[in-house]
Amino acid sequence: MIHERIEVRPTVGALGAEIFGVDLTEALDNRTTEEIHDAFRRHLVIFFREQKLTPASLKAFGRLFGALSQVSFVQSVVPEHPEVMVIRREPDPTTPKINFGNAWHTDMSFAAAPPKATLLQAKEIPEHGGDTMFANMYLAYDTLSDGMKRMLEGLRAMHCAVDVYGPQGRVVNDEDARGTVVHSAPEALDEREHPVVRTHPETGRKCLYVNTVYTKRLAGMSNEESAPLLKFLYQHQSRAEFTCRFRWQENSVALWDNRCAQHYALNDYLGHRRVMHRVTIAGERPV
């Protein structure tokens, strides 16, 4: 598609692009919306600067990509806007606390139908640090050997939120440090089975779909039997040449495709406050 209404500037070769020439606080015409969708499909994660979105306008932009969903484990939301999650990290000058999203992962892969996309807006940012990294899972799959691709074909993996949102989950037990109020729920113990290699429903391309946070083991295997292959895939899919890094500014917005990209929120802003608003866009069962 030739972009007539927006300017698209790729960040690096692997993935990511900044979008200019659009004000997300205003209603977008069909052509502009189509061009943003095209950039999203091509670059997997797109970034916007200086977008003073209210919770209502953030939701309105998110709905251009699908229905919104709520994250049942997270209680920190904007009043009267339950679809807008508040991710808050309060200053702590002495102890390096847990950071929400501080590992390579795919949002909510433990769900039967994980999110299609995630929309994140920076409300308050530290003077330095707090960047987010993204990784291209198309490239991670494409660069595997033919033999490895054949081995992975048909394999499935078990995903579960127990280590994060279970009764002893690491974020459930660190509420004071993070400022993001999270509670446990019985569904945190549920396991879901998804393909190790999924096919993107819009592009038809194959991508890796395992992650360090929610993938527990390969289906039909023990943890010990699964560990060597999963360890290789985790290391492979986070190779530097598959990634980009985004430096947040106040009112920056990022939208990433949760089906073919992973992300990592860096925990390097000790002693500083960081507040983000997040909207989750509903997805489909991976195939």
Candidate list 43, 263, 272, 274, residue with the active-site label: 263
CA angle 24, 268, 20 (to 5 degrees): 20
Tokens 């929610």 -> residue: 214
**Which CA distances in Å does 90 have to 75, 85, 181, 225, 274?**
16, 16, 12, 40, 7
CB atoms within 10 A of CB 189: 13
Structure tokens at 92: 């702590």
Does the annotation mark 170 as catalytic?
no
Candidate list 43, 88, 107, 198, residue with the active-site label: 107
Kind and range of the H or E element at 177? Answer: helix 175-178
Does the annotation mark 274 as catalytic?
no
Does the annotation mark 178 as catalytic?
no
Candidate list 88, 89, 105, 217, residue with the active-site label: 105
DSSP 3-state of 115? coil
CA angle 215, 146, 149 (to 5 degrees): 20
CB atoms within 10 A of CB 26: 9
Does the annotation mark 278 as catalytic?
yes
Q: Report the alpha-carbon distance of residue 168 to residue 236 in Å, rounded.
A: 29
Long-range contacts for 21-24 (Cβ within 8 Å, ≥24 apart)? 22/48, 23/51, 24/48, 24/51, 24/53, 24/57, 24/61, 24/253
Tokens 């052509």 -> residue: 31
Catalytic annotation, residues: 105, 107, 263, 278
